[in-house]
Structure 1
Amino acid sequence: MIEVQNVSKRFGSFTALHDVSFRVEAGEVYGLLGENGAGKTTLMRMMATILRPTQGEIEIEGFSVTKEPEVVRRRIGILFGGDVGLYSRLTARENIAYFGSLYGLQKAQIAARIEHLSRVFEMEPFLDRPVGPFSRGMRQKVAIARTLVHDPAVILLDEPTTGLDVTAANLFRRMIRMLQEEGKTILFSSHNMTEIDKLCKRIALVHRGRLHYAGSVDGLRERYGMHDLDELFMAVVEGSDR
């Protein structure tokens, strides 16, 4: 479960997020929707305890990100889009194992998790090769496996399919559904409306640092009398800019 309560974040005189509140239920895949620069990454960095809210509170599984950050970190897996942050000279296996050790896993636990994840993400052919020459899709698979090595209850995915081809993006969507079946709580941010529509029943829509909708996708469609999520997003944005 993720609880965001009246959260604001300011950087000097600039307000990146203003009074944002929503709740992600346990076992839910929840979409955080907004254009680039809307404040999605800032919000997820606060959830990950990388940034502190200027105002308000965020709780992960009942633990405060500001008062109990170490407890929160053990319960989350986080993947940011763009640079996946792998060590190029290490193999895929070594990259995943290194992060497993940072979470305090024993060698036997790490080995078992790597074998499981390598099967799930079809990484066996390149598991013991250095990641430097890997394609974008291969690197993203390793990064996702690294995110999941400690079997977190809550998973934060910020623009995770950036740069992926159709095959890799489809594999990612299958992975999300599999994790949901395992009872994981997943917050998935994107500006790709089609992807959000395929994965999420409920969303939070952020524009220019403000929350403009939090609820079901069907409820948003009913409110505006439209089905296409791209058109819905533009209707909300244009209405807020007037």
Structure 2
Amino acid sequence: MATLPVTHTRLHLPGLAPTPKRPVRLVARDLDASELLAAHSHAWGQVTYALDGVVRVTVGNSSWIVPPLRAIWVPPKQVHEVATLEKARLRAVYVHADSAPFHGSQCEVLEVSPLLRELIVALTQVHAGEPREAMLSALILDELSRSVTQPIRVALPDDKRLKQLCELLIAEPASPLTLDDWAQRVGASARTLARLFERELGMSFGQWRQQVRLAHAAPLISRGMPLSRVAAELGYASQSAFSAMFKKTFGQSPSAFFSRRAG
């Protein structure tokens, strides 16, 4: 385990990079709210996970809001950026490309089982090269391959005006502003913005805003916030309206979706 800042577009970490003999390495960072690990890439894959706190991971035109019950798999060579939405104990699990638990170039949202969490914690406590490190690494790789993926993703646009709107709404998911209101803020007509939402994101403004609100819901629910308060925090008219939209998107009620926490 090691602690270090990330400041380079391309990381070269001799001594920390995973190898065929040591395919799993772990880097720990305890970060305050609103810290940024600038966009970078590396030859190995990475599981981005926070023991506590909430982080936002951005890769290409997608962004994920990640609470402690979830992690993001970032494939090798993918440029990614990590921002803390609140104070977080970040644990980055580096995985050698030959041992990657997932194939392809797509990021995966992972459900972090209690076992996987404890394995990651245990890996922070071993010394480099110990036999225990190899055993923990093998178990982590096996548990990762069994992790259930969850579709919590917020698409991001390329157009600068639309991207500004999206960034502002991610920061204020409960905002009641209409598309006309946002148009005045970003310097484009509502009609232009509506067309850009459909062209670049494949959905309407309202649909995209729902995605953002549901992504923000995960950290709130995982901390045990009552659903009625979650609904109010995110701008829903009622708890039932929030629960209905959640079930429509994820195929489960919020309580069922997060039942592993209770278990």
**Same structural fold, with TM-score higher than 0.5 when normalized by the shorter chain:** no
Structure with max Cα Rg: 2
Higher relative contact order (CA 8 A, sep 6+): 1
TM-score (norm 1): 0.30
